[in-house]
Amino acid sequence: MDAIVVSHLTKMFSNLIAIDDLSLKIEKGKITGLIGADGAGKTTLIRLIVGMLAPKNGKISVLNLNPIEQKAELNQKIGYMPQKFGLYEDLTVLQNLELYADLKNVPHDFDKLLKFTQLERFQGRLAGALSGGMKQKLGLAVVLLSSPELLVLDEPSVGVDPISRRDLMQMVRDLISPQTTVLWSTAYLDEAHSFDTAIVLDKGKVIFQGKPTELAKTSQEFENKVIDLMGGYQKKVSKVAENYTCSNTNNVQYTVIAENLEKRYGDFYAVRNNSFYIKKGEIFGLLGPNGAGKSTSFKMMCGLARPTSGTAKIMGIDIVENPEKARSYLGYMAQKFSLYETITVEQNLEFFASVYGLHDNKLKKRLEEIIDIFNFKEIRNQDTSELPLGFKQKLSMACALIHNPPILFLDEPTSGVDVVTRREFWNHITSLAKKGATVLVTTHFMDEAEYCDRISLFYRGEAVAIGTPDELKQRVGAKNMEEAFVNLIEESDK
């Protein structure tokens, strides 16, 4: 029995082919992973399957129904969680559940769901005040309310920490019946490796469908195999780093310093006793579960939030006392894409370059240089909003690097980016560090944490461990960073 049958499906957006003569079958009662590069057509395929888009050519049958013509009937049977799930941020956790239960016409019986999501304690909290991981769990709980026959999840684990990610996976496995079919799109290949089936999309076509374990035994091998399928990744000399000159004028021992940083809201400590000293050319990773205080620390470091006590120094300059000067050394890449979407790639670059003090001929020269380095030639006159996510992140990085800052602050730079682009990014980051850039980075990808020279693991507002990746692994006897992360968090919970 197949839950989903797609044959010769084509979908175009103006002149762009998103889905190209695609055929596939998804078996009933199985968990199927959907993998692919940015712009490969994953989200489009999902939206076609749930009936939110109409195909140009071809047929789709979902649970023996036509998703467009029999949408109302189909809606009763599927649970769909889009990338950005529509939780009402101004309602509490419980009110959200009640609202969706009423909309789906199911009884208000949330005990099991609340227990599984570990949201019992937070029933009365506003959904907007939940951490990223908890929001996703609540979203999933809402989708699971009506016990759907088909569960469609579009990258539910983007921006979610390893522990919450495990919880999400566990929720799905425990709460569905054996007959439930799951279609799960993900950028995490270890997740995909644990599913019954994996589908790899590339340029709107299926390039692999089968058991992940047949392709590779371990998830690490699986990742390499998938990268090969997607056209392979050759580690090249980073052009970005080659053209980078660390404009380090001050001779300070530690380029980035946090000294007893503390942020208090009333009685609640979002961050306390946070100290670290980062040397020139070091990659320093901030890891931790969602809501542990990473982002708050990050914000205090770049002057977006004022610490309640303690100091942060950039190139020896206090960020609170002399913010303009301190920030001029800083290249900042925000968690969420935050460039001007309505203007073109070039206009964004030009704006940020001039804000950081490049003008006239210098500006023109640097613009051409950076457009060349990042390969923006073809998209330079395109509006930023039209770019795929991977390109947006590249543009954010280009804007952060445009003034050759000696220090880079990267807040989840690879969130939502495909595996090949992620490797490219880290190639740039490590090469930049070799040329003298100091990097402060946060990430939820534990394989990326291995690239860091040192890591500070954050939990409940405090750094519970600082050290090299190897040191941390040894401390708890873990074989990889993910295990080390989970063990260290559990250890400090005791």
Partner 1 sequence: MIDRFKKIIALIKKEFLIIWKDPKSRGIIIALPIVQLILFANAITMEVKNIKVAVIDLDKTVESRELIAKFENSPQFEQVKRIDNIHQMQKLIDNQEIEMGLYIQNDFSTLIKSKTPTDILIITDGRQTNSAAIIAGYASQIIMSYSHEVSPTNGAVINIIPRHWYNPNLEYRWFILTIIVVMLAVIVTLLLTALSIAREREMGTFDQLIVSPLSSIDILIGKTIPPLCVAMVLSCFMSFAVTYCFGVPFVGSVFSFLIAMFISLMSMVGVGLYISSICSTQQQAVFGIIAFLMPAVLLSGFISPIEDMPKFLQYLTYANPIRFFMSLAREICLKGISTIDLFINSVPLIFISVVTLSLASWSFKQQKS
Q: Give me the residues that bind partner 1 (CB under 8 A), please.
A: 302-306, 323-325, 327-328, 330, 332, 334, 336-343, 347, 350-352, 354-357, 359, 383
Residue 89 or 228 with smaller CB distance to partner 1: 89
Smallest gap from Cβ 323 to partner 1, in A, equals: 7
Smallest gap from Cβ 301 to partner 1, in A, equals: 10
Smallest gap from Cβ 376 to partner 1, in A, equals: 18
Give the Cα separation of 205 and 187 in Å (integer): 17
Give the Cα separation of 44 and 64 in Å (integer): 20
Q: Check: CB of residue 19 under 8 Å from CB of residue 10.
A: yes
Residue 356 or 485 with smaller CB distance to partner 1: 356
Give the Cα separation of 76 and 145 in Å (integer): 11
Give the Cα separation of 43 and 155 in Å (integer): 9
Residue 343 or 478 with smaller CB distance to partner 1: 343
Residue 146 or 396 with smaller CB distance to partner 1: 396
Residue 208 or 337 with smaller CB distance to partner 1: 337
Smallest gap from Cβ 73 to partner 1, in A, equals: 35
Q: For Cα atoms 322, 328, 330, give the angle at the middle one, nearest 5 degrees.
A: 110
Q: Which residues pair with 153 in a beta bridge?
A: 81, 184
Residue 162 or 416 with smaller CB distance to partner 1: 416
Residue 211 or 325 with smaller CB distance to partner 1: 325
Smallest gap from Cβ 250 to partner 1, in A, equals: 16
Give the Cα separation of 441 and 286 in Å (integer): 6
Residue 178 or 266 with smaller CB distance to partner 1: 266
Residue 359 or 494 with smaller CB distance to partner 1: 359
Residue 79 or 310 with smaller CB distance to partner 1: 310
Smallest gap from Cβ 448 to partner 1, in A, equals: 22
Q: Check: CB of residue 291 under 8 Å from CB of residue 268.
A: no
Residue 40 or 330 with smaller CB distance to partner 1: 330
Smallest gap from Cβ 354 to partner 1, in A, equals: 3
Smallest gap from Cβ 352 to partner 1, in A, equals: 7
Smallest gap from Cβ 325 to partner 1, in A, equals: 7
Residue 281 or 307 with smaller CB distance to partner 1: 307
* Sign of the dihedral defined by the CA atoms of residues 161, 166, 170, 173, in that order: positive
Residue 182 or 358 with smaller CB distance to partner 1: 358
Smallest gap from Cβ 378 to partner 1, in A, equals: 20
Taking Cα atoms as reference points, which of 322, 317, 310 lies closest to residue 259?
310
Give the Cα separation of 295 and 412 in Å (integer): 10
Smallest gap from Cβ 278 to partner 1, in A, equals: 18
Smallest gap from Cβ 132 to partner 1, in A, equals: 15
